Structure 1
Amino acid sequence: MSLLLPGQCHVYWADPADEQPWHQRLLSEGERARRESLRRPEDRARQTVAAALLRLLAGRHLGEKPAAVRVERACTDCAVPHGRPTVPGGPDVSVSHSGDRIAVVLSLAGPVGVDVEQAQPQRDILGVARLALSEAELAASAPLDRDGFYTYWTRKESVLKATGDGLRVAMTKIEVSAPVQAPRLHRFDGRPDVVAAASMFTITPGAGYQGALTVLGTPSAVTEHEASELLRHQAEGL
């Protein structure tokens, strides 16, 4: 697994099936509480693998034991630790998971946001699109198909995760390029600095999924890696 160098951004992919019993030993008290609050085993596996992988990767970068890596998830709206993850003294990070795909990103190129979404056949695409897309975006992609919708969605959410706004900001306040075009941020109401700084990328979670990455900077390289091998072998000195 290659070393993260200044200017680089690494995307690591994992699967909930990669979960191992020792992963739970890497979770913080808040993360354990969050895990126990989830009813479905698949949801618990996604949350556990994502949290464990983030600490394994950050620990490698910082030269620390994974369990010693501090991950802060403070929320600006409440006391529950479920906000944007940050690693004090470490790289910028972002996490997303959907279905059987988990993405953990480390960046030394600037604040980063990643989003991966599994296409939901039963979803009312047009109904949600009218709430999330601008009139210009709807016109540029008419007729909007399922892949197009999820391309728009992941691009927009990756921007909002990179800025730390999350879904507190309406998606209609930002405008991105059409699905058939290379990803680019065109508009963010009241935030021209974000438009000027944002570099956007399409990532490849696999068939049935869409993924996007936004870095508030100019990465020298964005690379994707499989993390299953790292997750299978128990880390020394937990």
Structure 2
Amino acid sequence: MPERYGAYLSDSFILSDLIMIKTIALALSLASLCETGFSVMKETFKDGDQFQQRSVVSDIKVFKDLNGNAKPFAYFSLQSGKEVGAGEAKTVNWDIAFSRTTIAVNGGTSGPGQGGAQVLEQPFDKVSEAPAAGYMADGAAGYAIPGGSGNSWYNYDMKVHAILPIPGRTLLIKMADGKFAKLEIISYYKGAPDEVPTEESSYFTFRYSIADANGKF
């Protein structure tokens, strides 16, 4: 075979290999994006007199089986995505805390942070922006996220005697540092079983997303 043809074929194989490598890398990148809980939304914005759309990536985190049987509370940092020890209860290192069906935020009578909360009757995926007002802090009159069946995030189902999250309810949390997050309780039972009740209750599985500097999710 003439040398120039050999070189041509060699270059073709190299080009083919590069295309294959880039295709595999793109596929892996997209798979990783899905596994880490990112969702891609469209945001409409005005550029001069023209309305355009751009993709906005929202980082949705899921935490499974946070043990709300802890005393006095199980403390959690939305920023780090980790539990915080009870010894840090009087610090701004946590944002939300769980004690059975009671949920506290780091503000008011519960902590030294800027925390507050409100309950929206709106599905988690439909909440695209954090409200600028309407947040309550924990106080003498009660918690910012009210307790009791039907009052905030759950109903007590008398038929099956179980705590069941109310579909279409989203908790808007003002974090200890003043940033905003949206949060949805997925399950109150260990392992987030499809069928309840179960003896292992007060294990919270939830998902949440922290707003950007403009309050957008």
TM-score scaled by length of structure 1: 0.27
Structure number with higher helix proportion:
1
TM-score scaled by length of structure 2: 0.29
